[in-house]
Amino acid sequence: MKNLSLILIILLACVTLFAVTKPVSNKNPKANIVKPEVVQEGGEIIQAPMTVDKNAAKEVDKNKIKESNEKEQEGKPYDKQFVLWDTYFISDKEWKDNKELIVFPAKMVNPPDPNNKMQADFVRFTNEEKFASTNWYKTKIADKKELEKGMRVILFGIFDDTGIYRSPQSEEEALKGPWFITTIVDISGIEEGIVTLSNDFKASINHIRIVTQ
């Protein structure tokens, strides 16, 4: 009988010990999150608020978008008029205050020779033929503030539905379509976005290229 009592006591002790040391199951994942630091105010302990800098997050997003846009723009081989960055406009005739003079988009393959009237070698995009010329022009899309009466400008030689010279609508059109050089003779309509050319036609200021070289 004493042995039975002893066994029961031992079993009871083991059950008690197991209950005390058994790990408590945690079904709430939030319980594993470290709580923010607490601060003491006026003798009372309060929990410090968890804050997120939304402005900083927005700034990071803006920078990512800006970086993405810049990379996309850098990857384009042409400007908004589909003119390749390294395009020159060339002619077999010298500009002599003509009303207009046909020019061709081309790529320079040999630099200008200062001992030969700055003649350079080009390959025309229209027919891929080599062409040597002293009459060549480097251009860029004009800004409204840059346009002046008497300025030489280069335009794409196709009209829109309103009879105004338009820009090329594709890279192929820009490479193989007609271009010409002319002069601005009237800027009285510039605030409305229109200038008059020496060939008596009008052009939108958004479709004009100015000579830079």
User: pLDDT by residue (tens digit) across 161-210?
Assistant: 999 999 999 999 999 999 999 999 999 999 999 999 998 899 999 999 99
Q: Is residue 145 part of a domain?
A: yes
Confidence of residue 73 (pLDDT cuts 50, 70, 90): very low
Q: Does 18 score more than 50 pLDDT?
A: no
Q: Does 113 score more than 80 pLDDT?
A: yes
Nearest to 185 by CA among 152, 143, 138: 152
Q: Is residue 64 part of a domain?
A: no
Q: Is residue 112 part of a domain?
A: yes
Task: Determine the Cα–Cα distance for residues 111 and 27; give it in Å rounded to an integer.
Answer: 76
Q: What is the mean pLDDT of the chain?
A: 75
Q: Is residue 100 part of a domain?
A: yes
Q: Is residue 121 part of a domain?
A: yes
Q: Is residue 176 part of a domain?
A: yes
Which residue in this structure is represented by tokens 């470290």? 34
Give long-range contacts, CB 8 A cutoff, 24+ apart: 121-130: 122/88, 122/90, 124/90, 125/87, 125/175, 125/176, 126/175, 126/176
Q: Does 148 score more than 90 pLDDT?
A: yes
Query: Which pLDDT belongs to residue 49?
Result: 39
Q: 177: domain range?
A: 87-211
Query: Which pLDDT belongs to residue 101?
Result: 93
Q: Is residue 29 part of a domain?
A: no
Query: Which pLDDT belongs to residue 170?
Result: 92
Q: Is residue 156 part of a domain?
A: yes
Provide, rounded to the nearest whole percent, the portion of the chain with pLDDT above 90. 53
User: Averaged over 105-114, what is the pLDDT?
Assistant: 94
Number of domains in the chain: 1
User: Averaged over 16-32, what is the pLDDT?
Assistant: 45
Query: Which pLDDT belongs to residue 75?
Result: 64
Of the two residues 11 and 17, the one the predictor is more confident about is: 11
Query: Which pLDDT belongs to residue 190?
Result: 93
Confidence of residue 41 (pLDDT cuts 50, 70, 90): very low
User: Averaged over 56-70, what is the pLDDT?
Assistant: 40
Nearest to 168 by CA among 197, 132, 122, 125: 125
Query: Which pLDDT belongs to residue 94?
Result: 87
